[in-house]
């Protein structure tokens, strides 16, 4: 599917959804706020993993169907939790221009309570299905924090995701009248393109207002150490100078203990030298996978886990540099 065919697909959806209101917008300008995405079909059918199931299908939890060339990821001596495998050949061919046309993606996560930098791994395999088999975690590792005895097959419908920056700044006291009017007009289309379901590709979920991918862009554009230790997070209000000094001393000690001092210094100097801080988030990122709270999981108080990747890495089929976070208030 080429760009023109993708645009015509979106234009047909927009006209059918907005009705007469569609004539109030320049469709090409409006289309710039959307990306192709795949939304998970609902509801899920939960199945027990004790029964043998067909290998290689897209599904959540259970055991991953891994080839011998891929090993179960671990973090600090503990096997990571397996979350999902996606069979890319089962997606509508060519609809998403950056995703590989074939192969499997596997998603694993470590300690989700390290919310600033969540340990995780994304694996990719583009070989033959005959190489795959259900793979338990290695016996020499501590078991995953949660290894469920259930699985659920998932299927995706090709659609579009709306840029959260189009929404009103709901977490801000500043009023944006233009954005309010645009959002109100697009509300019917928004309901279709920002559903609260598991999603592959497109934009991140919108629950935290504009720039929901800002941390991902900082991390993936070369400032992971600054993000890890809260460089971009405003410090709390201190009751005294002693409290302020203790706060920053504790942070400095954590950086030194982890051996991250040189990386912290280099990233801080590079960030401070930027002519515009927007350069720190310049390279665009894509939501690789967004997971809703299903299968006995609860991802924070809002209930969504997100995996992000730089668009250039996604286009090149590189999945070793990704960012994972939980949407939380």
Measured CA to CA, the distance from residue 255 to residue 257 in angstroms comes to 6
- Paired residues of 66 in beta bridges: 133
pLDDT of residue 106: 99
Instruction: Please report the pLDDT score of residue 173 as a whole number.
Output: 46
Q: What is the four-CA torsion angle of 29, 35, 38, 42, rounded to 10 degrees?
A: -60
Output the CA angle 202-208-211, nearest 5 degrees: 60
The model's pLDDT over 221-253, given as tens digits with 9 standing for 90+, comes to: 999 999 999 999 888 889 999 999 999 999 999
Give the pLDDT of residue 135.
94
For 285-317, the pLDDT digits (tens) are 999 999 988 877 888 777 889 999 999 999 999
pTM of the complete model: 0.91
What's the confidence (pLDDT) of residue 187?
Answer: 80
| The pLDDT value given to residue 210 | 52
Residues of the chain with pLDDT under 50: 169-173
Q: What pLDDT does residue 91 have?
A: 97
- Which residue, 58, 32, 85, is CA-closest to 157? 58
Least Cα distance to 84 among 295, 303, 318 occurs for 295
């Amino acid at each position: 599917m080429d760009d023109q065919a993708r645009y015509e697909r979106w234009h047909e959806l927009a006209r059918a959804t907005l009705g007469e209101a569609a004539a109030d917008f320049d469709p090409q300008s409006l289309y710039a706020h959307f990306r192709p995405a795949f939304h998970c079909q609902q509801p899920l059918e939960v199945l027990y993993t004790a029964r043998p199931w067909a290998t290689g299908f897209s599904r959540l939890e259970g055991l991953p169907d891994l080839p011998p060339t891929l090993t179960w990821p671990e973090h600090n001596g503990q096997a990571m939790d397996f979350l999902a495998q996606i069979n890319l050949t089962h997606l509508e061919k060519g609809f998403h221009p950056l995703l590989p046309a074939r192969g499997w993606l596997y998603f694993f996560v470590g300690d989700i309570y390290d919310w600033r930098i969540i340990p995780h791994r994304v694996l990719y395999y583009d070989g033959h299905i005959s190489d795959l088999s259900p793979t338990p975690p290695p016996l020499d590792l501590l078991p995953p924090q949660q290894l469920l005895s259930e699985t659920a097959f998932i299927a995706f419908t090709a659609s579009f995701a709306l840029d959260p920056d189009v929404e009103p700044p709901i977490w801000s006291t500043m009023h944006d009248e233009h954005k309010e009017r645009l959002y109100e007009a697009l509300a019917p289309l928004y309901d279709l393109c920002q559903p609260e379901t598991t999603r592959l590709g497109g934009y991140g979920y919108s629950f935290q207002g504009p720039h929901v991918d800002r941390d991902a862009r900082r991390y993936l554009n070369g400032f992971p150490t600054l993000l890890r230790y809260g460089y971009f997070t405003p410090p709390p209000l201190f009751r005294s100078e002693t409290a302020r000094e203790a706060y920053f001393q504790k942070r400095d000690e954590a950086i030194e203990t982890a051996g991250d001092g040189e990386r912290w210094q280099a990233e801080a100097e590079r960030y401070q030298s930027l002519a515009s801080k927007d350069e720190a988030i310049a390279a665009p990122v894509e939501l690789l996978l967004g997971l809703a709270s299903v299968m006995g999981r609860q991802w924070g108080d809002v209930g969504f886990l997100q995996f992000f990747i730089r668009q250039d890495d996604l286009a090149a089929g590189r999945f070793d540099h990704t960012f994972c976070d939980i949407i939380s208030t």
